[in-house]
Structure 1
Amino acid sequence: MPTTSSRLLTLLSLLQARRDWPGAVLAERLDVSPRTVRRDVDRLRELGYRIATFKGPDGGYRLDAGSDLPPLLFDDDQALALALSLEVTAVSGAGVGDGMREAALRALTTLRQVMPSRLRHRLETLPVTVVLPPGRSADVAPEVLHALGAAVHGRVELRMDYGEGEEDRPSRRVEPHHLVTWRDRWYLVAWDLDRADWRTFRADRITPRTPTGPRFTPRELPGGDVETFLIGRFRGQDGPTPTTDWPCTGTVLLDLPLRDVTPYTSGVAEDAGDGRTRVTQGAWSWPALAASLLRYDASLEVVDPPELREAFGVLAARCGAVAGA
């Protein structure tokens, strides 16, 4: 029979999982009587959780958001996931800056202090080293991120200055649809009202202006979802129906064994026998793809398509001109 504390934890997890829970269903899931469920709900209320009761044939309970943060109950996996996330944020800052790093470190210290010894031991046996990429982008001020998120959530037009530095920052009017993070940078995906097209703006180059504009009706994003749209744009696809595929994809045979290619390829590498490797890779243009394949510093043979072979000819002419200059 679960202890009262573990049952409360399970009950809280269930209430957080969906909006409404019939009392009878909760009793069945917890393997207790409806009366015990009522007592456990009262205990959670005493801890500061706002749990509403709704009536009807399937009357039950609903966890509402409270004005104050009540004591939080986590199971072991949730606590470890939270601690690991805080460790990463304490180093990276999540692209928001030193304030976020310091807040994450304080939260991690607080969490470690209240962790039972078994969880602290599990966390200590899972050391995490965060390696930041060179040339990291500028962090986004928390107030800017909050302003952008509020505009996305409220579906209101946003007026903003956009660009690097203090000068040459044109004003933009946009309908903000998504605030996303990609490779350690924050981006705003929005419909540019002045250019009548979708745009992706780096959040660290945005200065929101007040007041915001009127509410707008969300538009359908090309590609159907923000992931497909964003990957397509970063891969050079500007058409009305972007995909996650590269615009240009080709296959070559490299005079290198698979073990020497696998650590460095961004595509698909397969053993072709006789110490050669078959590589299929993509890029935003044929010359860019040819240039990326030359980085293996090995002889190669183009399998397909003909456009890739022609791109090598273009690069050869360019390199020849540079060498003869």
Structure 2
Amino acid sequence: MSTAARLLSLLGMLSDGREFSGAELAERLEVDIRTVRRDVDRLRGLGYPVAARRGNTGGYRFGTGGRMPPLLLDEAEAVAIVVGLRTVTAGAISSPPGTGAGAARALAALERVLPPEVRAQASAVADGVVSLDTGAVGLSPEWVAVIVGACRDHRRLRFEYRAVDREPTRRDVEPHRLVYSGRRWYLVARDVDRDAWRTFRTDRMADLTAGTLTFRPQEPPEDAATMVSRALSTGPYRWTARVRIFAPLQSVAPHVPASMAMVQAESATSSILTTGSDHLTDLAMHLGQITSPFEVLEPPELVDLLGVIGARMTAAAARSASGTPLEPSS
């Protein structure tokens, strides 16, 4: 085995994340321990952080920092990554004018080194997938890095926030999680000045900075996804509906997007759906897609509207079945 091939094999083993003894590495590479030591020194010289622990129970492992080890991918993995990166660059993570998208750079770097047959296969798969414009609001890779880094390192974030019909305010928060709903990104964080957990739409944030002050993380009252789902389905809408569905939670939840409504178990045979909208007709339309029996608990105005719509639909069905045209009104 050549030195270059041996170094790549050594990198692949160390990339596994666990610690290897010198004897174990030597056996796998079919060399002596002295050669392993020389190869480790070569990797360090190339910028790879290989940490060593001395003693009978010691060994080698990757440390933090330095260069990222090369990725060793099979054909299926390479195709999946190319398609995934193309999807990301087209939607959820955007690139504002004047900034570079990390996903786009990664895609270009990967496609440069793919074997021709794998590149052709990845391009064929990616070209065969077309995404509709869903009106999704992207988030720049720079902001993703800042927010996720602050969540990881428990550092406060500061930004200007513009809520609906309100003047912008400065917020000082302890970030917890970044949540993507399929259309928008939301930050779940504890608002320091208000001493309360909040969800913030990232497209309403501006002048984002991560401070140097760290904090002791606290757990929110419920998980981040549930907090965002609750904010989306029961936010400051004109109308909020509560509906009892006569079906167990496991039968209902898969058919109700978390960005549209919250569904909670009421009993072994029934669930409670909570959703909101500024228009009653939108609520009625959503309920029309429920295939299980249900009853509206509130508001009473929605009950009245369902009666009107139901009568209209029943008349339309009878008319359509009989073929009797509707007489024009005079």
**Which bracket does the TM-score occupy, shorter chain normalised?**
0.5 to 0.7
* 1:74 match: 72
* 2:63 match: 64
Root-mean-square deviation over aligned CA pairs: 4.3
* 1:317 match: 304
TM-score (normalizing by structure 1): 0.65
* 2:288 match: 294
* 2:224 match: 226
- Distance change >3 Å, CA 143–CA 80, structure 1 → 2: closer
**Deviation of 1:117 (Å):** 2.8
Distance (whole Å) between structure 2 residues aligned to residue 16 and residue 46 of structure 1: 17
Q: 8 Å contact 1:93–1:100 — kept in the other structure? A: no
Superimposed CA distance per residue, residues 249-297 of structure 1 (whole angstroms, 9 cap, x where no aligned partner): 5148xxxxxxxxxxxx548xxxxxxxxxxxx98631498876423258x
For residues 96-135 of structure 1, what are the structure 2 equivalents within 5 Å? 96-97=95-96, 104-128=103-127, 129-135=129-135
Distance (whole Å) between structure 2 residues aligned to residue 233 and residue 13 of structure 1: 44
TM-score (normalizing by structure 2): 0.65
Where in structure 2 are there 5+ consecutive unaligned residues?
236-240, 248-254, 258-269, 312-330
For residues 188-227 of structure 1, what are the structure 2 equivalents within 5 Å? 188-208=187-207, 212=211, 214-223=213-222, 225-227=223-225
- Distance change >3 Å, CA 142–CA 99, structure 1 → 2: farther
- Distance change >3 Å, CA 195–CA 125, structure 1 → 2: same
* 1:12 match: 11
Matched residue of 2:52: which SS?
A: strand
Q: 8 Å contact 1:248–1:289 — kept in the other structure? A: no
Matched residue of 2:20: which SS?
A: strand
**Deviation of 1:214 (Å):** 3.6
* 2:185 match: 186
**Deviation of 1:141 (Å):** 4.7
**Deviation of 1:207 (Å):** 2.3
Distance (whole Å) between structure 2 residues aligned to residue 116 and residue 318 of structure 1: 61
For residues 143-162 of structure 1, what are the structure 2 equivalents within 5 Å? 143-162=142-161
What one-letter code is carried by the residue in structure 1 that aligns with 2:214?
R
Matched residue of 1:127: which SS?
A: helix
- Distance change >3 Å, CA 54–CA 210, structure 1 → 2: same
Matched residue of 1:161: which SS?
A: strand
- Distance change >3 Å, CA 211–CA 55, structure 1 → 2: closer
What one-letter code is carried by the residue in structure 1 that aligns with 2:304?
A
- Distance change >3 Å, CA 16–CA 188, structure 1 → 2: same
